[in-house]
Amino acid sequence: MAQYVFGLDIGIASVGWAVLDAQRIVDLGVRCFDKAETAKEGDPLNLTRRQARLLRRRLYRRAWRLTQLARLFKREGLIDDAKLFAKAPSWTENAWELRLRGLDHLLTPLEWARVIYHLCKHRGFHWTSKAEEAKAESDAEGGRVKQGLAHTKALMQVKNYRSTAEMVLAEFPGAQRNKRGQYDKALSRVLLGEELALLFATQRRLGNPHASEHFEQLILGHGDRKSGLFWQQKPALSGADLLKMLGKCTFEKTEYRAPKASFSAERHVWLTRLNNLRIVVDGRARPLNDAERQAALLLPYQTETFKYKTLKAAFVKVGLWGDGVRFGGLAYPSQAQAEAEKAKDPEDQFLVKLPAWHELRKAFKAAGHEALWQQISMPALEEDPTLLDQIATVLSVYKDGTEVVQQLRQLALPEPDASIAVLEKIRFDKFSSLSLKALRRIVPLMQGGLRYDEAVAQIPEYGHHSQRIDPGATRHLYLPPFYEAQRKYAGKGDRIGSMQFREDADVPRNPVVLRALNQARKVVNALIREYGSPVAVNIEMARDLSRPLDERNKVKRAQEEFRDRNDKARSEFERDFGYKPKGAVFEKWMLYREQLGQCAYSQQPLDIQRVLDDPNYAQVDHALPYSRSYDDSKNNKVLVLTRENQNKGNRTPFEYLTSFPGGEDGERWRAFVAWVQGNKAYRMAKRNRLLRKNYGTDESRGFIDRNLNDTRYICKFFKNYVEEHLQLAARTDGDTARRCVVVNGQLTAFLRARWGLAKVRGDSDRHHALDAAVVAACTHGMVKALADYSRRKEIAFLQEGFPDPETGEILNLAAFDRAREHFPEPWPHFAHELKARLFIDDLVALREDMQHLGSYAQDDLDRLRTLFVSRAPQRRNGGAVHKGTIYAQPENLKQQGSTIEKILLTGLKLQDFDKLLNPESSDHFVEPHRNERLYAAIRRRLEEFGGKADKAFGPDKPFYKPDKNGQPTGPIVRSIKLVRGKQTGIPIRGGLAKNDSMLRVDVFTKAGKFHLVPVYVHHRVTGLPDRAIVAFKDEEEWTLIDESYAFLFSVYPNDFVCVQQRGKPLIEGYYAGLDRANGNINVWAHDRAASVGKDGLIRGIGVKTALSLEKLNVDVLGRIYPAPPETRRGLA
C-alpha cells in the first residue's frame, strides 16, 4: 500500500497542497478563496453586516417610537390623521420658532403637536450612565460631543435663556443644526426634557386642553429619565441578558468566563508574561530566578507604564542585574542604528498592562479616597482577590447605572456610599476564556513559577491548555467540521437549526483564520477521498495569518524597505565591480561590508577581490553550526577565511576559539569578544549568537525545535486537531517520528533556495503548490539527511578522532561519506520534477518529461494531470440591496436618468473644472451660468494652492460664498452640487441609490445567441428580472426574455466558464464580473498569471455572438467536470 505524505501551505486566501510518496510527486495543486475581511479596511465581513443590522434596528425603533407618538396625538385629539407627520409637510412656520412662541402664547392643537413631535424626534444626546460620560473623555469624538454639550449648557446658564429653542435662535440664527464634524450646537436630552416640561406647564397655565399632567406623563414619563416616549430607549445588553450571550470557561464548563478586568484575570496575564520572560546574559538566555520573580511581582501594580526598561532599571538599582542584561525576544538595533537614532529603544515598550487595576486606582485617587482604595486592593495583593473580582464582574456585566448601584450595594465594600460614588463612573467590557473558578486554581501555581501550560498540566481534570491529544479519542477517516449542529426550540414548537463551535476544541474565533483552516480541512478530506489516509501531514502557515490588516501592511512595508535596500546595494556593487552579483557573491560582499573587511574569527583583513573571485579564499559560516541549530538566518552568518571555517568545524565560536592556548582567558577569544562588541553594525541577536558560551545538547535542541517547528497557537491548534481527529495510515517503515508537524517557514525557505526553487509571488498562484511540495518533503528522514550533510560539511577538514562538541563522542569521518557530495534531496531530480509539475500545462509534454525520470509507472502516467488552481465560488443570495447614499433626482432629471450629487470642496480637482462648467457634458455643475461667481472663486482658490483641494479648503481656511460684487460676505460653502449623467439604480424616497454587488448572471440562449440577465439583491423583493443586456442601451430597451428563450445556467463569482469566440482561441477562467453597459464579461485566469493581464484578469469578453458559452464545475482539488443541467432558481 502506498505511503503518502500530505503537505499543506496555509495562507490568508489560499491553501497549497501536495501529495508525495517515497519516490515521486503524486499530485499537487492550490485551493484559493476570498479573504474573510473587507479589502480596504481589513474589517471582518460580519462587522459590516452587524453594523448595518444595528443601524436598521435603531432606525426602526426610532420610527416606531414616533409612530406611537403620532397615534397618541390622534387619541388625544391633537390631529386627525396619525400619518400626518409621515407626509410631506404643508406648513411653513419654523418648529424652533413655534417652540419659542409656546413659552408665551397658547398654541393651536396642530402647533402643539408639531412642537412635541419636534422635541421627541430631535431629542438631543444623553449619557446612559455616569461611566459612559466619563469614558467619553478618552474618545476623540466623544470628547468633542461633551465639549459641545458643555458649551450649550453654559450659554443657557450665563445668558439666562428660558429654553434651548430660545438659546439656539439667539445664538445660531443662521443654522440650528450641526454641520459635518461640528458639535458646537450639540444639545443635551436633559435640557430638551426641561424645555418640554416648561412648555407643558406654560400651556396648562394658558389653558391648553391638551397639556394635562396625564398627557405629560405619557410623553415625559415619571421623572426617571427612562419612561415616556421622549425618554424611551432600548437599554444596552446587561445583567442576565448579557450572561446569556457570554461563553463558558475552557475548563470549568458550567462556569461563565471571567471579566478581563478582574484582578485574577489580570494577574494571570502578568504571571504569564513574567514566567515566560527570558533575559540574555553573556549570550545565554535564561528565565528569571525565584528572587527576581518575587522582586518583580508587585512592580506593575505601582506604575501604569510598566515597560521592559522599568523592570531593568528597578533591578539594576537594587543590584540584581547589571547594565549589560538584555531581554530575549526584543529586536535590539545595532550600535550604528542606535547612534544614528534610526531605531527605537526596544525596551521602551510595555512589558505588561493592567488597565483595570490602574483605572480603579486612579479613580479612587482622583476622588481623594486613596485610603479606601488600599482597603479594597490590599487583600487582592495578599492572595484574596474576591472583592476586586466581584467589583470587576459587576462593572463588566451590568451597564445601567441603577443596576450597577444595586449590585454594588450587595458587596462587602468599605464605606459603601463613598466607594459606590467612585465605582459607578467606571465600566469594563471583554471577558477571558477562563472562569474565576479556574483562574483561582491556576494562578497560585503560576505564582510558584510554573508557566501556564505547566500549571494546567498540574490539575488532572484540566488536562492541557492546548488540547493535548487524548489517546482514547475516536479518530475519523475525515477531519470533522469545526462547527456542530445545535437544535433549539423557539416557542410554539418551532425548531430552529443553528451552528456552534465544537465544545471539544478551542476553535480560533478570528474569521480570517477560521476560513483558512476550514478550507484546509476541506482540502485534506478531498485528498483522503482521492488517495486514502496519509501516513503524515506536514503543514506550513503564513506568518501573518492571524494578524490584522494594519499589521500585515506594516510588515509588507518593512519587506519592501528591505528589498529597496538590497536593490540599492546591488546597484552599488554593479557600479563598483562592473557586473551584477549572484546570490552567494552578493551575500559575501554584504557580510564583508558589515564586518568592515575583516575575518570574523581571526580579525585578519580580507582581500575583497579574492573574496569575490576565489571561492576557496573565504567562506560564509554559520556561527552556531547549522547541524546543531538549523539556523540559516543572517544573524547566524559571518564571513571568514576558509582555513578558519575548516578548523572551526561544527563548533560554536566559543568552543573553537577557547580551544587555543589560554582558553576563555586566551588572546583569540578575548580579541573576538572585543571585535564583536565593537562592531556597530551588529544587532543584539547576532551578538548573542556569536558570543554564546553555553550551547550544549539542551540548548541545541531548543534552537532546532524553534527553527524546525512553528509553535504559534494557531499552528498548534490545527496540528492537534489533525492528530486528535484524523486516522492516519499505519507506517510500513517503522518510523516513530511525529505524524503531524508544523514546519517553520525558515526551514522551507532554506530548502527552496538550496534546491534552486525560486518563488516569485507576483507571477501566479502556483507558488503555493511549490511551497506545499517542499513542506511535504520536510520529513523526519529529510531533516536527518540535512543534519548529516551539514555536519559532514562542517567537519570535512578536521582530523580523525576529533571529539563531537555536542555528544563528546569521537567522530568517525568515514560514517559521513555518503553525505559528502551533494545537498540532500527527497530523491534524484526532485527539483526538476517539481518545476515540471508546476509549470508544464501541456499534458502530453508533461507525461513525456515524467516518463524520462523513470519513477512513474504507466498507471501513474495515465493518472497524471497538469496543475489547475481551484477557487471557491461565491454562491450567495443575500447582501446589501443598494449602496448607502441616496442621490437626489428632481423631476426634470428623471427623464434623462441623471442625479444630483453633493461633493465636498476638498474632493474637487482643478483639471475637471472646464468639463464641469459645460452644461452639455455628462457631469457638470448645477446651473453653472447662475453661479459663475461662486465657481470662479472656487477655481481661484484651487489655483492658489496648486490644485490641492484638501489644503485650499481645509478646516482652517473656510470658504465664503461671494456676493454680487465678488466679495466673500456670504455663508460658508463646504460642498457644491453636481449633475451626474445617466445613472442606474433603485428609486428610493424620490431619489436614486446605486445597486450594490451583482449576485449572479442568468444566461439564456435563442437562435444561436447568448443573452445575459444580471441579478441583484433587490430582485429578492421585486422578483427575478426578465431583461437581458443590450450594449449601450437603457435598461428599458434591453431584450425582454420570454418563453421562447431557453435558460442555460446561472453564473456566480468564481464559477468556471469557457467562451469560444469566432476566429479566436478558447478563453476559459473564473467569472469575475459583468459590464452592464456593454454586456461583456471579465474572467480570472485560473492561476491569475500576470502574463495574461493585470492581476491575471482577462477583460472585455463578448459572449452574445460567441460560438459557445459553457459553465464547468471545479472541485476542491482542481478537477474539472461538466456542470449538471440547471433550472432557473429564485432568490428566496
Return the active site residues: 9, 622
- The 975-980 sheet, strands edge to edge: 924-925, 975-980, 899-904, 882-888, 991-995, 986-988
Other CB atoms within a 10 A radius of the CB of residue 795 amount to: 21
Report which residue type is found at 178.
Answer: N
- Measured CA to CA, the distance from residue 836 to residue 847 in angstroms comes to 10
Dihedral sign computed on CA atoms, order 609, 612, 615, 616: positive
Q: For residues 1117 and 1102, is the Cβ–Cβ distance under 8 A?
A: no
- Measured CA to CA, the distance from residue 440 to residue 252 in angstroms comes to 12
- Measured CA to CA, the distance from residue 1053 to residue 1070 in angstroms comes to 7
**Residue 485 forms beta bridges with which residues?**
499
The owner of cell 551588529 is 682
Q: How far is CA 116 from CA 97, 109, 926, in A?
A: 13, 11, 37
Q: For residues 938 and 926, is the Cβ–Cβ distance under 8 A?
A: no
| Total H helices, total E strands in the chain | 42, 30
Q: Which residues contact 1031 (CB under 8 A, 6 or more apart)?
A: 1077, 1078, 1079
> How far from the centroid of its chain's Cα atoms is residue 134's Cα?
30
**HSE, side-chain direction, 13 A CA sphere, residue 689:** 24
Q: CA triplet 115, 117, 121: central angle to 5 degrees?
A: 120
- Measured CA to CA, the distance from residue 622 to residue 746 in angstroms comes to 15
**Residue 256 forms beta bridges with which residues?**
248
- Measured CA to CA, the distance from residue 383 to residue 408 in angstroms comes to 22
Cell digits of residue 743: 514546519
**Residue 1057 forms beta bridges with which residues?**
1069, 1111
Cell digits of residue 941: 482658490
Burial class (CB in 10 A: 0-12, 13-18, 19+), 853: middle
Q: For residues 1050 and 1064, is the Cβ–Cβ distance under 8 A?
A: no
Q: How long a stretch of residues is the chain?
A: 1132
Q: How far is CA 968 from CA 485, 958, 973, in A?
A: 68, 10, 10
- Measured CA to CA, the distance from residue 572 to residue 540 in angstroms comes to 36
Angle between the 189-205 and 140-158 helix axes, to the nearest 10 degrees? 30
Q: How far is CA 326 from CA 323, 653, 1042, in A?
A: 8, 20, 78
List % helix, strand, coil for the chain (3-state, nearest 5): 45, 15, 40
Report which residue type is found at 468.
Answer: R
Q: Where are the alpha helices (DSSP H) in 949-1008?
A: 949-952
**Residue 998 forms beta bridges with which residues?**
1016
Helix (H) / strand (E) element for 540: namely strand 536-541
Using alpha carbons, select from 233, 195, 201, 234 the residue that is nearest to residue 216: 201
**What secondary structure, in 3-state letters, does 193-256 show?**
HHHHHHHHHHHHHCCCCCCCHHHHHHHHCCCCCCCCCCCCCCCCCCHHHHHHHCCECCCCCCCE
